[in-house]
């Protein structure tokens, strides 16, 4: 049976085209076609630009790890620029290697495992509830439970501090401490809070991936096993779980990969107790100007990130062979919760409360209270928002809405992220266009893959790589450090995989006929793009711009290394305020970002009638 | 009406999609000016590919395409004229209407490109829509139309710009039977009136027979026969064409079977015959004495299938199943024996390679009834 099936699947052996016409003439013909059809040139151009923007920074940062940098010549005992193993030694073997690399590596693994576990449990629970049970208000729940993912990831960390902070680090203590409950260091800082905070941020990610897979899973497969006499437990163990394995491994590895590149939470919660992850260790190396060490650390992070994605791809490919995902047979099959209904709904809404309501409310509360935990009328104030002058706050002597800092940061955020998102959206659509037009040609394949490359590199390592490449003038490209251009390019490249993916799928769905029809009607290339392709793809184009915008506006890991005084963004402003120990104002800025990100997402979903949570519930 | 519609000629046209067998293999095809040529063949034989190459939407792997006296594609000479400069109209297999434009705007598009004045545009669009009986839908969007309605809009869109070459990829496949008949007539009238050169892709042989001035039968990317419809029907170039054109298909009988050997002996042909063929409607049930110049045999009735206007009968002689179509009622039941006759002139012979044998005597003489 399988044999015959396989037999028909195999492509007949490729036949060489007859060589009646010589190679030279055929090449000349192809050039003639290419001259009339910009697709090929467009494709080659896109590939070259992308290769440069992805490969060159990586090459630059890897080679940075092997050449003696200015100021290290004495320690390395080699002249500046010489090929050296000094930085490798420093990171992996030297007395400081524990502090630089090994401890952060162990911490990263601990945190990653912890976060993944928390996210899987919470996300898996929510996914099961939303797709397989008759829990009340599924639609509302589905929308509510993806909200944590729209908040900046370190919102939770700031809220945590507002609740649990003790007197160890400077500034005001948290609510509990203010009420006289002593919070130990392990609860206030370090691994435990980091795991909880990131777990609450990343569980919607698992919910989406896992929920969609569960929904597509052909319920008939389970039914047929039941009919054959398998018990519920056996079905779960032998049928459902194996079939869910790909999405399980994907969510695990992707969450794991995200932890590698996340910066805000470990920075806020880890720093007071010197709890470093690879990302914060990398950041310290950058800030202290240790280029060689930076390079080695970034390379390690890149390698782990690439390994993760490749491992995932391999796993998925291996599993997919026996996984049948039926779209048609997938009927609504829900388990009646019966007397568990109340408990399940309560659980789900509690999760929402813990991951959204509590952190946001806590932050909001801190921004209007002078002393934490005191609820008397004279302790409430709007000063941190609106005061002309805040006494005793050097560096930021007024409410966040006053002065120019917030507004210029907001303008920078909107301008820089907006430009990056625009580039992303347009590039994504163009990439989709070329991939579909040049279908099956090698250029389409290469473009598809190259545009996916940034996905392999954790954001913070990418930023380090860009810094290494563009810190100095290279050929015709001037030194870009501190410039808006650098931020725009970095943000655009790191978000490109998502845009190009949606561009490719939108264009594939449309196919090439509508454009060809315009061609037959006599329209030239530009006319076709302007009058047919772009108008038809307006929806996907808007989504391809808005999604990177929303994600970019709350981005910290990537921009933290690249901003300078002149290019402060909302996110970096907030972190700066944390550094100054102005908790109230840092929290105020975070709230502004959260509201901005949430509003834009909501409006776009309204306008384009799409939903992140679409199809999850009800 | 005098038309300047051009001749289309393909020479050695070959298309490879990289992997798999050639989609079109060394195709030589001349479609005379003002002809209505049907590309006919089973699914996947390369009809759409051929049409798209003529349109310029697909590049050639080898060969030359000439429209009138203009070379539009030539691999040996490195010539390529882009589709928008070829001045052809094309109706896509899946219509390819622009979803963001109304029906009117769809049809108007080409006129806007040509910068036709608004008043003139309106008139032309109205005419085109009226011809296709779809004027009532002018302000709708394509997604609000059925498949057949979209197909007619697609035809109107092509006609509006008055191209001299019309390329049609199964343009009637989604219409219901009555509308299809009407559209066939409409297209044929249009062709006769305007004298366009039309290339029409279909896998419906009836469509090809009724509309075309020329039929090109293809199989696996290779041209099997190019001829007038009746010629293709009555003188099929090989067993593939014989079987593909006509419904029910021609009976092809191996000469190794008993009945095949008898027929062969009866014909006493010159060449080495491997297959004898006869169209079902040329097999007659005889009740009285057999006619002189006919090959006769006895057969057992397997099934009688009335279609309304005719009777299709499946009979067995030895192990060989033969179909016959009669315009008169066949009263026989399964298991009964029938006497069948085939006029000598209605027997086709094919050689070992399937090719029609030269000098055989199977002419299109209708057997006197
Ligand atoms: N873009 C493509 N890439 C690869 N192979 C293709 C492509 N388009 C067509 N083919 C192959 O070329 C062959 C001819 O295809 P074509 O579309 O011309 O067939 P067709 O005669 O129009 O069939 P149908 O009647 O089903 O429309 C088929 O085997 C098909 O699989
Ligand atoms: Mg086709």
Residue B369's pLDDT is 30
Residue B39's pLDDT is 94
Q: pLDDT tens digits, residue range A104-127?
A: 999 999 999 999 999 999 998 888
Bigger pLDDT: B68 vs B345: B68
Closest CA to A443 of A40, A102, A21, A140: A40
Which range of residues forms the domain containing residue B252?
A: 248-350
User: Is there a domain that residue A329 lies in?
Assistant: no
Over residues B187-191, mean pLDDT: 88
Same domain for B209 and B270: no
Closest CA to B215 of B52, B42, B48, B36: B36
Q: pLDDT tens digits, residue range B71-99?
A: 999 998 888 999 989 989 999 888 889 99
Same domain for A193 and A236: yes
Same domain for A343 and A213: yes
Confidence bin at A7 (pLDDT 50/70/90): very low
| 3-state SS, residue A499 | helix
CA B148 distance to own-chain centroid: 20
Same domain for B147 and B16: yes
Same domain for A158 and A202: yes
User: What is the number of structural domains in chain B?
Assistant: 2
The secondary element (H helix, E strand) that includes residue A594 is helix A583-608
Residue B139's pLDDT is 94
Determine the Cα–Cα distance for residues A532 and A516; give it in Å rounded to an integer: 10
Same domain for A352 and A469: no
User: Is there a domain that residue A401 lies in?
Assistant: no
User: Is there a domain that residue B365 lies in?
Assistant: no
> Residue A601 maps to which CATH number?
1.10.3720.10
Q: pLDDT tens digits, residue range A137-160?
A: 888 888 888 888 888 888 888 888
Determine the Cα–Cα distance for residues A185 and A188; give it in Å rounded to an integer: 5
Over residues A563-570, mean pLDDT: 82
User: Is there a domain that residue A108 lies in?
Assistant: yes
Same domain for B205 and B269: no
Residue A617's pLDDT is 40
Determine the Cα–Cα distance for residues B190 and B207; give it in Å rounded to an integer: 16
Bigger pLDDT: B297 vs B18: B297
Same domain for B165 and B276: no
**Ligand 1: nearest atom to the Cα of B93:** 27
User: Is there a domain that residue B285 lies in?
Assistant: yes
User: Is there a domain that residue A75 lies in?
Assistant: no
Q: pLDDT tens digits, residue range A567-582?
A: 888 888 888 888 887 8
Same domain for B229 and B256: no
User: Is there a domain that residue B212 lies in?
Assistant: yes
- Tell me if A520 and B55 make a contact (CB, 8 A cut-off): yes
Backbone angles phi, psi at A178, to 5 degrees: -65, -30
Residue A319's pLDDT is 59
Select the residue from B113, B141, B150, B165 to test the A interface by mutation, using most A Cβ atoms within 10 A. B113
Same domain for A309 and A435: no
**Residue B329's beta-bridge partner residues?**
none
H-type helices in A321-379, by residue range?
341-352, 358-368
Backbone angles phi, psi at A27, to 5 degrees: -65, -40
Q: A168 near A188, Cβ under 8 Å?
A: yes
Q: Give the C-alpha distances (Å, rounded to integers) separating A128 from A237, A244, A347.
A: 15, 12, 13
Task: Look at residue B126 and tell me whether its pLDDT is greater than 90.
Answer: yes
Residue A581's pLDDT is 79
User: Is there a domain that residue A125 lies in?
Assistant: yes
Determine the Cα–Cα distance for residues B334 and B313; give it in Å rounded to an integer: 10
User: Is there a domain that residue A17 lies in?
Assistant: no
Contact map slice: A 2-31 vs B, CB within 8 A? 11-12, 14-15, 17-18, 20-21, 25-26, 28-31
Please give the sequence-ordered ranges of beta strands (E in DSSP) within B256-334, or none if there are none: 275-278, 283-285, 294-306, 311-317, 320-326
User: What is the secondary structure of B137-183 as a DSSP string?
Assistant: GTTS-GGGS-HHHHHHHHHHHHHHT--SEEEEESTTTTS-HHHHHHH
Residue A598's pLDDT is 85
User: What is the secondary structure of A466-485 as a DSSP string?
Assistant: HHHHHSS-BTTBPP-TT-HH
Those residues whose C-beta lies under 8 Å from the C-beta of residue B144, and which sit 6 or more positions away, are B137
- Tell me if A15 and B21 make a contact (CB, 8 A cut-off): yes
Which range of residues forms the domain containing residue A560?
A: 38-54+406-608
User: What is the number of structural domains in chain A?
Assistant: 2
Residues of B whose CB is below 8 A from A542? none
Same domain for B255 and B207: no
User: What is the secondary structure of A52-72 as a DSSP string?
Assistant: HHHHHHHHHHHHHTTBPPTT-
Distance from CA of B110 to the nearest CA of A (A): 5
Determine the Cα–Cα distance for residues B37 and B56; give it in Å rounded to an integer: 18
Task: Look at residue A5 and tell me whether its pLDDT is greater than 70.
Answer: no
Residues of B whose CB is below 8 A from A440? 17-18
User: Is there a domain that residue B308 lies in?
Assistant: yes
What global pTM score does this model have? 0.79
CA A361 distance to own-chain centroid: 25
User: Is there a domain that residue B241 lies in?
Assistant: no
Residues of A whose CB is below 8 A from B59? 29-30, 33
Same domain for B304 and B273: yes
User: Is there a domain that residue B361 lies in?
Assistant: no
Same domain for B199 and B106: yes
Give Dmax (Cα) for chain B.
Answer: 74
Determine the Cα–Cα distance for residues B20 and A11; give it in Å rounded to an integer: 6
B50 CA from centroid of ligand 2 (Å): 9
A565, burial (CB in 10 Å: exposed 0-12, middle 13-18, buried 19+): exposed
Atom 30 in ligand 1: which residue has the minimum CA distance?
Answer: B44
Q: A498 near A429, Cβ under 8 Å?
A: no
Confidence bin at B7 (pLDDT 50/70/90): very high
Looking at B190, B208, B234, the residue that finishes a domain is B234
Examine the predicted complex and report whether its ipTM is higher than 0.90: no
Determine the Cα–Cα distance for residues A285 and A295; give it in Å rounded to an integer: 9
Residue A167's pLDDT is 77
- Write out the two tokens for B352: 């070992």
Lowest mean pLDDT among A47-51, A71-75, A239-243, A286-290: A239-243
Same domain for B101 and B189: yes
Give the number of other Cβ atoms within 10 Å of residue B30's Cβ: 15
Same domain for A310 and A434: no
SS3 sequence, A531-563? HHHHHHCHHHHHHHHHHHHHHHHCCCCCCCCCC
Task: Look at residue B261 and tell me whether its pLDDT is greater than 70.
Answer: yes
Determine the Cα–Cα distance for residues A402 and A457; give it in Å rounded to an integer: 38
Those residues whose C-beta lies under 8 Å from the C-beta of residue A427, and which sit 6 or more positions away, are A46, A492, A496, A499, A500, A503
Q: pLDDT tens digits, residue range A88-101?
A: 888 888 888 888 88
User: Is there a domain that residue A103 lies in?
Assistant: yes
Residue B240's pLDDT is 94
> Residue B72 maps to which CATH number?
3.40.50.300
Average pLDDT of chain B, as a whole number: 88
Backbone angles phi, psi at A429, to 5 degrees: -65, -40
- Write out the two tokens for B107: 């049809």
Residue A197's pLDDT is 92
Those residues whose C-beta lies under 8 Å from the C-beta of residue B289, and which sit 6 or more positions away, are none
Question: Over the range A209-225, which residues count as b (16 or more CB within 10 Å of their CB) and which as e?
Answer: bbbbbbbebbbbbbeeb
Same domain for B178 and B221: yes
> Residue B342 maps to which CATH number?
2.40.50.140
Same domain for A344 and A225: yes
Residue A422's pLDDT is 93
Average pLDDT of chain A, as a whole number: 81
Lowest mean pLDDT among A122-136, A415-429, B55-69, B111-125: A122-136
Which of A304-318, A375-389, A515-529, B352-366 tops mean pLDDT? A515-529
Over residues A239-262, mean pLDDT: 78
Residue A326's pLDDT is 42
Those residues whose C-beta lies under 8 Å from the C-beta of residue B115, and which sit 6 or more positions away, are none
Distance from CA of B166 to the nearest CA of A (A): 11
Over residues A261-279, mean pLDDT: 89
* Interface A:B, Cβ pairs < 8 A: 109
Instruction: State the Rg of chain B over Cα.
Output: 24
Q: Give the C-alpha distances (Å, rounded to integers) separating B346 from A319, B237, B312, B339.
A: 61, 15, 18, 17
Q: pLDDT tens digits, residue range A329-342?
A: 444 556 777 777 78
Over residues B54-59, mean pLDDT: 92
Closest CA to B269 of B257, B281, B260: B260
**Ligand sitting nearest the alpha carbon of B203:** 1
Residue B45's pLDDT is 92
Atom 25 in ligand 1: which residue has the minimum CA distance?
Answer: B43
User: Is there a domain that residue B3 lies in?
Assistant: no
Q: pLDDT tens digits, residue range A46-76?
A: 999 988 888 888 888 888 888 888 877 778 7
- As a whole number of Å, the end-to-end CA separation of chain A is 40
Determine the Cα–Cα distance for residues A497 and A53; give it in Å rounded to an integer: 13
- Report yes or no: A509 at the B interface, CB cutoff 8 Å: no
Over residues A398-425, mean pLDDT: 86
Determine the Cα–Cα distance for residues B359 and A165; give it in Å rounded to an integer: 104
Over residues B295-317, mean pLDDT: 90
- Tell me if A514 and B62 make a contact (CB, 8 A cut-off): no
Task: Look at residue A566 and tell me whether its pLDDT is greater than 60.
Answer: yes
Those residues whose C-beta lies under 8 Å from the C-beta of residue A593, and which sit 6 or more positions away, are A152, A553, A554, A570, A571, A574
The secondary element (H helix, E strand) that includes residue A122 is helix A103-132
Same domain for A125 and A46: no
Q: Is B46 in the pocket of ligand 1 (CB under 6 A)?
A: yes
B47 CA from centroid of ligand 2 (Å): 6
Closest CA to B138 of B118, B119, B123: B123
User: Parallel, antiparallel, or unpaired for β B62-67 and B8-15?
Assistant: antiparallel
Bigger pLDDT: B153 vs A394: B153
Residue A322's pLDDT is 47
Residues of chain A above pLDDT 90, percent: 13
B43 CA from centroid of ligand 2 (Å): 7
User: Is there a domain that residue B338 lies in?
Assistant: yes
Over residues B316-341, mean pLDDT: 88
Q: pLDDT tens digits, residue range A206-231?
A: 888 888 777 766 666 666 766 777 77
User: Is there a domain that residue A69 lies in?
Assistant: no
Same domain for B253 and B335: yes
């Amino acid at each position: 049976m399988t044999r015959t099936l396989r037999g028909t699947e195999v492509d007949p052996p490729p036949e060489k085209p007859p060589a009646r016409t010589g190679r030279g003439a055929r090449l000349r013909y192809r050039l003639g076609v290419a001259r009339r059809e910009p697709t090929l040139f467009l494709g080659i151009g896109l590939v070259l630009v992308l290769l440069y923007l992805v490969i060159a920074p990586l090459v630059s940062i890897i080679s940075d790890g092997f050449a003696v940098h200015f100021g290290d010549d004495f320690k390395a005992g080699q002249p500046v620029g010489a090929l050296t193993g000094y930085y490798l030694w420093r990171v992996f073997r030297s007395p400081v290697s524990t502090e630089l690399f090994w401890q952060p590596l162990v911490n990263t693994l601990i945190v990653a495992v912890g976060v993944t576990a928390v996210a899987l449990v919470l996300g898996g629970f929510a996914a099961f509830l939303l797709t397989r049970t008759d829990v009340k208000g599924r639609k509302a729940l589905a929308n509510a439970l993806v909200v944590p993912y729209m908040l900046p990831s370190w919102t939770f960390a700031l809220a945590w501090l507002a609740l649990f902070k003790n007197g160890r680090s400077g500034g005001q203590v948290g609510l509990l401490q203010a009420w006289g409950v002593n919070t130990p260091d392990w609860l206030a800082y370090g691994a435990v809070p980091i795991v909880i905070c990131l777990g609450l941020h990343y569980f919607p990610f698992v919910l989406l991936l896992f929920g969609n897979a569960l929904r597509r899973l052909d319920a008939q497969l389970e039914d047929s096993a039941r009919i054959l006499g398998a018990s519920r437990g056996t079905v779960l163990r032998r049928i459902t779980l194996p079939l869910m394995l790909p999405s399980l491994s994907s969510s695990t590895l992707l969450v794991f990969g995200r932890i590698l590149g996340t910066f805000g939470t470990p920075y806020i919660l880890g720093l007071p107790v010197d709890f470093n992850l690879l990302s914060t260790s990398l950041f310290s190396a950058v800030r202290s100007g240790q280029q060689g060490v930076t390079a080695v650390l970034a390379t390690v992070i890149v390698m782990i990130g690439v390994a993760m994605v490749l491992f995932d791809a391999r796993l998925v490919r291996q599993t997919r062979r026996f996984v049948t995902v039926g779209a048609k047979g997938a009927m609504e099959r829900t388990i009646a919760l019966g007397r568990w209904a109340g408990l399940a709904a309560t659980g789900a809404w509690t999760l929402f409360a813990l991951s959204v309501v509590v952190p946001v409310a806590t932050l909001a509360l801190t921004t209007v209270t002078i002393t934490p935990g005191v609820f008397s009328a004279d302790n409430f104030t709007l000063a941190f928002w609106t005061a002309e002058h805040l006494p005793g706050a050097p560096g930021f002597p007024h409410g966040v809405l006053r002065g120019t800092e917030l507004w210029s940061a907001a303008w920078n955020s909107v301008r820089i992220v907006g430009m990056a998102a625009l580039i992303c959206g347009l590039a994504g659509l163009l990439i989709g266009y070329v991939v579909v037009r040049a279908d099956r040609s090698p250029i389409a394949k290469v473009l598809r893959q190259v545009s996916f490359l940034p996905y392999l590199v954790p954001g913070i390592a990418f930023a380090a790589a860009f810094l290494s490449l563009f810190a100095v003038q290279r050929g015709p490209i001037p030194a870009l450090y501190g410039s808006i251009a650098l931020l725009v390019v970095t943000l655009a490249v790191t978000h490109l995989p998502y845009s190009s993916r949606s561009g490719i799928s939108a264009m594939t769905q449309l196919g090439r006929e509508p454009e060809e029809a315009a061609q037959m009607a006599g329209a030239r290339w530009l006319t076709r793009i302007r009058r047919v392709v772009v108008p038809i793809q307006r929806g996907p184009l808007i989504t391809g711009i808005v999604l990177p915008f929303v994600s970019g506006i709350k981005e910290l890991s990537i921009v933290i290394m690249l901003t300078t005084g002149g290019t402060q963004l909302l996110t970096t402003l907030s972190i700066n305020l944390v550094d100054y120990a102005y908790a109230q104002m840092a929290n105020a800025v975070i709230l502004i970002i959260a509201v901005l990100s949430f509003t834009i997402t909501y409006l776009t979903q309204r306008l384009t009638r799409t939903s992140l949570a679409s199809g999850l519930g009800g | 009406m005098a038309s300047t519609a051009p001749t289309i000629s393909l020479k050695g046209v070959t298309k490879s999609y990289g992997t798999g067998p050639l989609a079109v293999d060394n195709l030589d095809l001349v479609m005379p000016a003002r002809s209505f040529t049907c590309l006919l063949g089973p699914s996947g034989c390369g009809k759409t590919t051929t049409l798209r190459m003529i349109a310029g939407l697909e590049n050639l792997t080898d060969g030359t395409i000439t429209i009138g006296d203009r070379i539009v594609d030539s691999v040996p000479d490195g010539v390529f004229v882009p589709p928008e400069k070829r001045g052809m109209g094309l109706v896509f297999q899946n219509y390819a209407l622009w979803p963001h434009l109304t029906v009117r705007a769809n049809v108007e598009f080409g006129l806007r490109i040509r910068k036709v004045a608004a008043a003139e545009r309106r008139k032309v669009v109205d005419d085109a829509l009226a011809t296709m009986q779809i004027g009532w839908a002018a302000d709708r969007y394509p997604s609000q139309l059925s498949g057949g309605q979209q197909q007619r809009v697609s035809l109107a869109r092509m006609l509006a710009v008055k191209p001299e070459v019309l390329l049609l990829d199964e343009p009637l496949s989604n219409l219901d039977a009555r509308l299809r008949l009407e559209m066939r007539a409409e297209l044929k009238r249009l062709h006769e009136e305007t004298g366009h050169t039309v290339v029409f892709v279909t896998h419906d042989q009836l469509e090809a027979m009724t509309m075309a001035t020329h039929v090109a039968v293809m199989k696996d990317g290779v041209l099997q026969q190019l001829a007038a419809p009746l010629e293709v029907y009555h003188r099929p170039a090989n067993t593939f064409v014989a079987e593909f054109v006509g419904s029910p298909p021609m009976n092809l009988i191996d000469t190794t079977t008993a009945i095949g050997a008898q027929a062969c002996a009866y014909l006493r042909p010159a060449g080495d015959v491997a297959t004898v063929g006869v169209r079902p409607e040329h097999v007659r049930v005889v009740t009285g004495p057999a006619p002189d110049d006919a090959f006769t045999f006895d057969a057992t009735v397997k099934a009688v299938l009335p279609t309304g206007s005719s009777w299709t009968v499946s009979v067995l002689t030895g192990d060989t199943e033969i179909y016959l179509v009669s315009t008169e009622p066949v009263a026989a039941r399964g298991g009964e024996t029938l006497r069948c006759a085939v006029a000598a002139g209605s027997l086709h012979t094919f050689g070992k390679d399937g090719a029609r044998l030269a000098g055989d005597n199977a002419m299109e003489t209708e057997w006197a009834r």
